[in-house]
Amino acid sequence: MNGTVSTSNKPSIGSRLDPGDRMRGIGCTIAFLLLFPNMSSVTPAYANSTFQPQISKAVDYLTKRFNPTIDLIYESDDPGKHWLTAEFKNFKWLYSQTYWLYSDNLFAAYALEPFRPDLSVRIRSALRRYRIPPSDLFEVVMGDQIPMIRNAVDYMVESSSEHVVMARRHDSLVVSYGLYADLICYRVLQFFLQGRTREAYRSFHQAISLWSGKGLDDWSFTMVDGFYSNQKLALLLYTSRILMMSFAAFNDVENHLWSMQRSDGGLAALSNGEGMPMGSPNTETTALALLIYNESLIRSVRSKALLRDGLFSSFGISLLLFVTIVSFFVCRRTRSRRLHA
């Protein structure tokens, strides 16, 4: 002995592992990949986003319009006559006195979840307090199943001299149809959550094809008023993230969406034919823009869809079962050899 220790026969870390342990490790790895196939690709968008200043301003916009008396956020600061006067004969409230349960505050509750969880909790409590049936549409954004999509009906839930609480529910007898970008995105999410992945991807490609570089050229723009609705851009980006399906113009759409932000932090609801912001910001558009960065919500919606779309399909279950059985028998065989050694 010369005082040195030879390492030529020193077992490597891998060779010191029990074969059964190695197989169990492999089994666990495969099982993890089956259960969480996209976990490695998920990153906290807010922390890495180049839009962090804009996001902070948008959060501040919603926060400042929160009414602590009724725990809801009002629609907009637009000083003009409310469009609901055309629907309700005696409608007398301003935009700043109008509070929508669906969709504004439903979206806002989840939009604020990563940034102002205290307000998120209060808004959700308020939504439950009114005991209004679901909208049968907007809940799909949060990963809930919805029925066949129908046209909207607006309901007056509560009113006083100072405010009015409204709810938009898609419970009309008329089934919704048409080349409307938001309708397509809602239907994409519906298909995805039902496990109809191919239909979801096919419809999403249709939505992407509407992007003109200035907005989404759907029927609302081409046949109704010639204005772009910016909430549809946010919904398109959010849907893309849910589907884990990026597209070539994603960054362009995201940049264009945030170019709609006004000095008060809110995003303008509309843009003109040249893609320039017009009119006042509103809660719906601003909240939908923030939803793009709610990583927890996105993971939750994805997991609900994956559970239905082959994650626990017969193939997935069979493969997981096979790995478990192989691990078990290899472990038993190894232990048996040790006992007889």
Task: Provide mean pLDDT across the span 104-126.
Answer: 98
Predicted confidence (pLDDT) per residue in 11-24, tens digit = 333 333 454 455 55
Q: Locate tokens 């909790």: which residue?
A: 121
Long-range contacts: 199-204, Cβ < 8 Å, 24+?
200/243, 201/243, 201/245, 204/239, 204/240, 204/243, 204/245
Angstrom CA distances, 158 to 98, 100, 238, stand at 10, 11, 31
* 282 contacts 269 by C-beta, under 8 angstroms: yes
pLDDT value at position 306?
81
pLDDT value at position 335?
55
Please classify residue 271 by burial: count the beta carbons closer than 10 Å to its beta carbon, then call 0-12 exposed, 13-18 middle and 19+ buried. buried
Tokens describing residue 8: 């030529």
Percentage of the chain with pLDDT > 70? 76
Predicted confidence (pLDDT) per residue in 289-324, tens digit = 999 999 999 999 999 988 765 554 444 555 556 555
pLDDT value at position 330?
53
Tokens describing residue 237: 């980006």
pLDDT value at position 285?
98
Pairing label, strands 98-100, 228-229: unpaired
Predicted confidence (pLDDT) per residue in 116-157, tens digit = 999 999 999 999 999 999 999 999 999 999 999 999 999 999
Task: Provide mean pLDDT across the span 87-101.
Answer: 97
pLDDT value at position 94?
98
Contacts of 335 (CB under 8 A, 6+ apart): 20
| Segment (H or E) for 228 | strand 228-229
Task: Provide mean pLDDT across the span 275-301.
Answer: 97
235, pLDDT greater than 60: yes
Confidence class for position 45, pLDDT limits 50, 70, 90: very low
Alpha carbon distance 91, 133 (integer Å) = 23
pLDDT value at position 163?
98
* 189 contacts 163 by C-beta, under 8 angstroms: no
